[in-house]
Structure formats: structure tokens, C-alpha cells
A and B are shown apart, each in its own frame.
Chain A
Amino acid sequence: EAQVTQNPRYLITVTGKKLTVTCSQNMNHEYMSWYRQDPGLGLRQIYYSMNVEVTDKGDVPEGYKVSRKEKRNFPLILESPSPNQTSLYFCASSYSISYEQYFGPGTRLTVT
């Protein structure tokens, strides 16, 4: 089954404790992206990747890191989480920028 998976689905952590949210797709997609969703602000792109070893900043990259060492995986790293990073995070993948993006199930992160 073609899908995008994310883990964990829910995470409560404390300020400053490094965490990683994993994302994996099995569709051989080249374009992958991380978004955060906040009430009234829609979906905002954090980072995106055009292909392996190619990553770039989206609209709200501060406080986040990503890597793309394999085509299927695109982890999101928060080195020192802060309460303003409490949000719903979605990973997405697509054949390219101008094609349908398939979203993961989301990760709800709370930073206290």
C-alpha cells in the first residue's frame, strides 16, 4: 500500500530536550516536505527536499533541522524544542513540486 508514515503520532516533551520525528514514504517520490499546522495559520512549510542530499528552507525553518540521506526517509529534528513549537506536524511527499502531495497521518507535538 502506497503511504507516508510518521512517528511518533503524539509526543509531549520538555523545553530543550532534543527530539526527532521520522517520516518515510514507499512511493519513490523525489519531493518531500515538512509542514506545521496551527489554528488560523493553515499549513506552513518548514523544510523541503527535492531529492537525496538536497534540502532547503521553507517559510518557517527556525528551530528545525532535516536530513535526506535516503530517498524514502526525511526526518525532522528539533535540537532544542521550545513551547512555540507546539503544533501539529505533517510530512508529505510527491513525485515533484507540481504533483499531488501525499500527507502522513500527522504528529501532535506539545512542548512544555
Chain B
Amino acid sequence: GENVEQHPSTLSVQEGDSAVIKCTYSDSASNYFPWYKQELGKRPQLIIDIRSNVGEKKDQRIAVTLNKTAKHFSLHITETQPEDSAVYFCASEGRTGNQFYFGTGTSLTVIP
């Protein structure tokens, strides 16, 4: 089945630095790539998503890039703040377009 691989599994950065999380997917037919943030003890919530017809999308300090040829997409967080500390999940739809696959998550710690 579809495989979404996510790296790194843990990431620590100094406040103000940038953080980058990378994901690869296996199904070239996938068209939708969201990123979810899960704070400790909370439910996952969408922070940004990108569709296959664009290569980059930004929302304030957060950006996502997509390379369909290489089948990978990345989350970029600039000027990190302590409240960015959370687990981040990438995801993509599967081969049939009906199943959904999440990466294994990246635990981001922003050190004040």
C-alpha cells in the first residue's frame, strides 16, 4: 500500500531558528498533501496543505514545498517560537484517492 515516510523523528532547534521536516510518498497519483500539528494531549489540527498543481504554499511563518517528480514534500517553519513545540504529521491520500496515510510524526522542540 501507500507509504509515507517522515524524517526526522525528533528535532530540536533554538528559538528563532528554522525547522524543516521532510516526507516522501510512494503513489505518484496522490494529489493532496496536508500537514497536521498535534500538541501534547490534544487532537491533530491542520496547519497547512498543498495540492499537486502548485509547488509551494506559504502562510506566515509556515511554508510547504512539493516536488512531484521526486515524490517528496517538506514543511518549513521560520522564526520558531516555543509554542511551535509539538508533533507534526505529514499525510497523503492513497492510490484509490479514498484511503489516507500519515507519516510517523516529528517531535519538534523549540528551546527558548
Contacts and interface: CB of A to CB of B under 8 A. Distances in A.
A23 B60 CA distance: 34
Contact of A103 (B31, B32, B43): B43
A22 interface: no
Given A97-B32, A97-B97, A98-B51, A105 B43 contact: yes
A39 to B, nearest CB: 9
B1 interface: yes
Given A59-B1, A98-B51, A100-B34, A48 B98 contact: yes
B interface majority secondary structure: strand
Interface in A78-109: 90, 97-98, 100-101, 103-106
Contacts of A62: none
Given A42-B103, A42-B104, A97-B93, A50 B31 contact: no
B73 interface: no
B102 interface: yes
Q: How large is the interface on B (under 10, 10 to 19, 20 to 34, 35 or more residues)?
A: 20 to 34
A11 interface: no
From B43, B89, B99, B104, name the one whose CB has the most chain A CB atoms within 10 angstroms: B43
Nearest to B4: A42
Given A43-B89, A100-B34, A33 B100 contact: yes
Given A41-B104, A45-B99, A48-B99, A104 B43 contact: yes
Interface of A: 33, 35, 40-45, 48, 50, 56, 58-59, 90, 97-98, 100-101, 103-106
Given A42-B103, A45-B102, A48-B98, 7 more contacts: A42-B6, A43-B44, A48-B100, A97-B32, A97-B93, A98-B97, A105-B43
